[in-house]
Structure 1
Amino acid sequence: MLEIRELTRRFGENTAVDHVSFEVPAGLMTGFVGGNGAGKTTTMRMVMGVLGIDEGEVLWQGRPITRLDRRRIGYMPEERGLYPKQPILDQLVYIAQLKGMDRVAARTQVTELLERFGLGERTKDHLEKLSLGNQQRVQIIASVLPRPRALVLDEPFSGLDPRAVDSMVDLLREYTRDGVPVLFSSHQLDLVERLCDRLVVLSQGRRVAAGTVAELRDAGVPRFRLVLGGDAGWVRDLHGLEVLDLEGASALVEVRQDGAEQHLVAEATRRGDVHEFVRVRPALSEIYREATA
Structure 2
Amino acid sequence: MLELRKVCRSYSGRQVLHDVSLSAARGQLTGFVGGNGAGKTTTMRIILGVLNADSGQVLLDGEALSPASRTRFGYMPEERGLYPKMPLAEQLAYLARLHGFPRSRARARAVSLLKRLGLGGRAEDALESLSLGNQQRVQVAAALVHQPDVLVLDEPFSGLDPMAVEVVLGVLREHAAGGAVVLFSSHQLDVVERLCDDLVIIGSGRVLAAGPREELRERHGTRRYELITEDAGWVRMIPNVAVDEQTGGRALFRAEEEAAQQVLAAAAQRGPVRSFRPVLPTLSEIFKDVSAENAEELAR
TM-score (norm 2): 0.88
Q: 5+ unaligned residues in a row in structure 1: which ranges?
A: none
Q: Aligned-pair distance for 1:168?
A: 1.1
Partner residue of 1:173? 173
Question: Residue 259 of structure 1 aligns to a residue in which SS?
Answer: helix
Asked whether 1:274 is paired with 2:273, we answer: yes
The 4+ residue runs of structure 1 with deviation greater than 6 A are none
Partner residue of 2:85? 85
Q: Is the contact between residue 99 and residue 145 of structure 1 (CA under 8 Å) also seen in structure 2?
A: no
Partner residue of 2:227? 226
- In 2, Cα distance between the equivalents of 1:165 and 1:113? 16
Q: Is the contact between residue 32 and residue 184 of structure 2 (CA under 8 Å) also seen in structure 1?
A: yes
Q: Is the contact between residue 236 and residue 243 of structure 1 (CA under 8 Å) also seen in structure 2?
A: no
Please tell me the residue identity of whatever aligns with 1:201: I
Q: 1:261/1:163 Cα in 2 relative to 1: closer, same or farther (>3 Å)?
A: closer
Q: Aligned-pair distance for 1:207?
A: 1.2
Q: Is the contact between residue 89 and residue 124 of structure 1 (CA under 8 Å) also seen in structure 2?
A: yes
- In 2, Cα distance between the equivalents of 1:88 and 1:136? 12
Q: Aligned-pair distance for 1:90?
A: 2.4
Alignment length (residue pairs): 291
- In 2, Cα distance between the equivalents of 1:274 and 1:129? 59
- In 2, Cα distance between the equivalents of 1:109 and 1:234? 61
Partner residue of 2:260? 261
Q: Aligned-pair distance for 1:226?
A: 2.5
Task: Name which of structure 1's ranges 18-27 and 116-125 shifts more when overlaid on structure 2.
Answer: 116-125
Percent identity reads 49
Partner residue of 2:206? 206
Q: 1:123/1:63 Cα in 2 relative to 1: closer, same or farther (>3 Å)?
A: same
Partner residue of 1:135? 135
Matches within 5 A, 1:51-70: 51-70=51-70
Question: Residue 5 of structure 1 aligns to a residue in which SS?
Answer: strand
Task: Name which of structure 1's ranges 222-231 and 179-188 shifts more when overlaid on structure 2.
Answer: 222-231
Q: Aligned-pair distance for 1:264?
A: 3.0
**CA deviation digits over 1:10-48, x for unaligned, max 9?**
112432222211110110000111111111111111100
Q: 1:228/1:120 Cα in 2 relative to 1: closer, same or farther (>3 Å)?
A: closer
Partner residue of 2:295? none
Question: Residue 51 of structure 1 aligns to a residue in which SS?
Answer: coil
Partner residue of 1:41? 41
Task: Name which of structure 1's ranges 56-65 and 269-278 shifts more when overlaid on structure 2.
Answer: 269-278
Asked whether 1:113 is paired with 2:113, we answer: yes
Q: Aligned-pair distance for 1:242?
A: 3.6
TM-score (norm 1): 0.90
Q: Aligned-pair distance for 1:93?
A: 1.6
Question: Residue 260 of structure 2 aligns to a residue in which SS?
Answer: helix
Matches within 5 A, 1:185-200: 185-200=185-200
Question: Residue 120 of structure 2 aligns to a residue in which SS?
Answer: coil
Q: Aligned-pair distance for 1:236?
A: 2.9
Q: Is the contact between residue 3 and residue 58 of structure 1 (CA under 8 Å) also seen in structure 2?
A: yes
- In 1, Cα distance between the equivalents of 2:118 and 2:272? 57
Please tell me the residue identity of whatever aligns with 2:224: R
